[in-house]
Structure 1
């Protein structure tokens, strides 16, 4: 029988201990209440790896359709403003097959292995320019000075967006993601909704410019991409460029970079990575499993279902707790231990998603990690965390992030 139980009701997803260190609570969920209701979210928390993967594999019974309307409880005024633009819910992340299959097929061709590899010189140039600004000192904030600016400059450079527009787009992106995934106060929502519309207008102008004169950038590719006579509509282009690329293309990478560096420095792996660079990508995979920045994803049951032995009626919304499932001993023995040399870390890692919604930008995020981390290891080999700092950890519905990662070193 479905019941609201004590552990589910105790979960606070946006503040407090469940954000700064969620794993003790997640351990209890998996052991005692693996599928349980949380009234704050109005969703069922699904915490075990097997149950999460079962839902992710079953697109017929579990829909993505409400994914992009899961965070803020929008006011009537905010809804009215957003209604003047394209429906922001209909992005790749919020679609089901067959519509998702068609759009993903067209977008995949922009993220081939060769295209990703061709982005390396841009990533390296931006990385070294950013490190140049602080390596002559004896301290830095790796979030503010590297993990935050690098991904946005990279994805916007790849898209062909002018340099002078970068920070305005970053602000519009925050508006879009905030309204989708965060509990935004009512008084702040109208201005953020206007920011989403401004972002969409910017994307329309960018699309029209590339129709008139294609360039060697990803925007031009998407505008002119064709497969078996199919092309992206303007609605699809605006949301593909705005949400899937310019917005999602950097926020999650910022979180991934910063948290992986923090884990390496805290857990004594920085020196080992410096000595053996072949360990970089295995370390990224294991560190992102062990302390995932991907809090989870939302699905909606389209019919009566049973998940983890719990009966849920049609319309139930499920919060699939990736960060909890990544620590499930049933899928990854000794999961609470950080072991970059373990076998199968990538197979047990849900940080980049699973199945049809596996992260389109994962290879680009991994390449940025590899290049940026190599640069830090080369130029600041004695890096150490500043003691007693507040990382300013915060969490949206889908992503856990830090505002600060303060480090120090002895100048050469």
Structure 2
């Protein structure tokens, strides 16, 4: 390490409170990204800011995916929420991760996604039709939150009557993967986790007795071929795929529509040419990602940008910062659906062994959800202003209303 780098490493790491980070996250990251490779939140996690470091650390063997560390820091060491963290593939590594991901990867195929795409479009258009004569709807609650929940229910073959309670459990559990929950939320998180696990046990057993040749039947068959997979592991992989494809997708769906409506020329361009939709989806995911960071745990000393990450450090690889890094993206603070410098692999879906299994499904939902809005209510306008909340984990965007003249 050079003398200059040693001096930088010995200097204090810029440290901020949650409130500091939430106040104007993009401005804070923009200010500190050229000055330091990471900043610290006052409760411990280090936020890695630069795109090149975020990408490299995602697969660096000197780090690993976090497991139950965050949960244990908050005093949760057993129970249904702990079981979810402890047994799902998202929060596991090595042989356990491969064992848990394998059966799901074999059944979560592009063919299934291709079959779901037209169903998503029909569902989205039906939702718009329900609200059309009223001349308005809540973009988040009446549209973006419903499409992912109904899509997942269709994939699993769930009764429609079960969707509202199922969606509620999923959206409560999703909060545990963010950074805004506290100890007072634990009873609600535990209750949702317990009810979800019980429901999934019943659904899996019913499908095992009465297979239908669908996604869930194929998954159960793959699980049953793997004697090392426990019943609890089997259902937790379903839960994490559902969760990962629901909460992040509903946020992204609301964000992308609001961004376009705040840029009227680009909204009208999409309405006139739906070939622009894939680019619009990618740009919205870059400009305001629903997944703000990816967690990693440092296993051995790593030097980045003249600073040293010590073993045991908890990292938040900031996709939110990386996706506005001027080293990668020209004019990164400009929203442009015709941008040509997108990376081949979008950072928001992670990387390496833990890259999101539901990426293709999420893109299909986002593209068809946007296409339905553009084709059915091109005259829509946004009431209020988009405000995306959160600087780490899963973000949210609420209080968004669409209005139009029928």
CA distance in 2 between counterparts of 1:22 and 1:280 reads 27
Is residue 327 from structure 1 mapped to residue 327 from structure 2 by the alignment?
Answer: no
Is residue 36 from structure 1 mapped to residue 39 from structure 2 by the alignment?
Answer: yes
CA contact (8 A) 2:288 2:388 kept: no
CA contact (8 A) 1:300 1:317 kept: yes
How far did 1:390 drift?
5.8
Distance 1:285 1:234, change over 3 A: same
Tell me how large the CA RMSD over aligned residues is: 2.5
CA distance in 2 between counterparts of 1:383 and 1:292 reads 23
Distance 1:407 1:200, change over 3 A: same
Distance 1:187 1:20, change over 3 A: closer
How far did 1:361 drift?
1.0
CA distance in 1 between counterparts of 2:287 and 2:146 reads 25
CA distance in 2 between counterparts of 1:9 and 1:345 reads 31
- Unaligned stretches of 5+ residues in structure 1: none
The aligned counterpart of 2:3 is: none
CA distance in 2 between counterparts of 1:253 and 1:115 reads 18
CA distance in 2 between counterparts of 1:3 and 1:165 reads 56
Is residue 193 from structure 1 mapped to residue 195 from structure 2 by the alignment?
Answer: no
How far did 1:80 drift?
4.4
How far did 1:21 drift?
4.1
Q: 236, 241, 255: which is aligned to 1:259?
A: 255
Counterpart secondary structure, 2:324: coil
Q: 105, 123, 130: which is aligned to 2:127?
A: 130
The aligned counterpart of 2:47 is: 45
CA contact (8 A) 2:294 2:316 kept: yes
The aligned counterpart of 2:294 is: 297
How far did 1:32 drift?
1.5
CA contact (8 A) 2:40 2:47 kept: yes
Counterpart secondary structure, 1:37: strand
The aligned counterpart of 2:104 is: 107
Matches within 5 A, 1:9-408: 9-12=15-18, 15=19, 18-19=21-22, 21-40=24-43, 42-58=44-60, 60-66=61-67, 69-70=69-70, 73-75=73-75, 79-82=77-80, 86-225=83-222, 232-245=229-242, 247-268=243-264, 269-347=266-344, 349-386=346-383, 389=384, 393-395=388-390, 397-408=392-403
CA distance in 1 between counterparts of 2:39 and 2:387 reads 29
CA contact (8 A) 1:296 1:321 kept: yes
Matched residue count: 398
Distance 1:398 1:180, change over 3 A: closer
How far did 1:316 drift?
0.8
Cα deviations by residue, 1:299-347 (Å, 9 ceiling, x for unpaired): 0011122233211221111111101001111122222222322323143
CA distance in 1 between counterparts of 2:252 and 2:37 reads 26
How far did 1:20 drift?
6.3
CA contact (8 A) 1:153 1:166 kept: yes
CA contact (8 A) 1:301 1:313 kept: yes
Counterpart secondary structure, 2:402: strand
CA distance in 1 between counterparts of 2:194 and 2:11 reads 39
CA distance in 2 between counterparts of 1:164 and 1:227 reads 29
TM-score (structure 2 length as normaliser): 0.90
How far did 1:396 drift?
7.3
CA distance in 1 between counterparts of 2:390 and 2:93 reads 26
If each structure's helix is expressed as a fraction of its own residues, which one has the higher value?
Answer: 2
Distance 1:316 1:169, change over 3 A: same
TM-score (structure 1 length as normaliser): 0.88
CA contact (8 A) 1:296 1:398 kept: yes
CA distance in 2 between counterparts of 1:248 and 1:99 reads 19
CA contact (8 A) 1:92 1:244 kept: no
Distance 1:314 1:234, change over 3 A: same
